[in-house]
Amino acid sequence: MPKQPFSNEQTYFALQEVERTHLASQENQSLKLEEERAREKALHFMKCPKCGQPLEETPIGAVRVDQCRACAGIWLEKGELEAIQKEEGGFVAKLFDVFHK
């Protein structure tokens, strides 16, 4: 009977080491991804996605939207269009319908 190159015990510990290395690599990748997201958020927070200049909160009725100081673009967060729609009706309601068809 041919001799096994590795004992069952050696194989077991080798597989344990592979699994431990794989898990450490996954944790390291998750940490890097989290750091990248935090860095991107810090870099772009309250900056215009079109021209990169600072945004400032501007009231439209009772809703405070983000408006660019440079290009005057207006950026809405989740729920703000619906809030303006409820308040304004008319044109905004029709615009909202177009996006939800």
Query: Which residues are near Zn ion by CB under 5 A?
Result: 48, 50-51, 53, 68, 70-71, 73
Least distance from Zn ion to the Cβ atom of residue 58, Å: 13
User: CB of residue 85 vs Zn ion: minimum separation in angstroms?
Assistant: 24
Q: Which is nearer to Zn ion, 20 or 69 (CB)?
A: 69
Work out how close the CB of 47 gets to Zn ion at its nearest, in angstroms, rounded to a whole number.
8
Q: Which residues of 22-55 are buried (b: 16+ CB within 10 A; e: fewer)?
A: eeeeeeeeeeeeeeeeeeeeeeeeeebeeeeeeb
- Residue nearer to Zn ion on the CB measure, 47 or 64: 47
For residue 71, give the nearest of 99, 51, 42 by alpha carbon: 51
Distance in angstroms between the alpha carbons of the first and the last residue of the chain? 72
Between 63 and 66, name the residue whose CB sits nearer to Zn ion: 66
In angstroms, give the least distance from the CB of 74 to Zn ion. 10
Of 68 and 84, the one with the shorter C-beta distance to Zn ion is 68
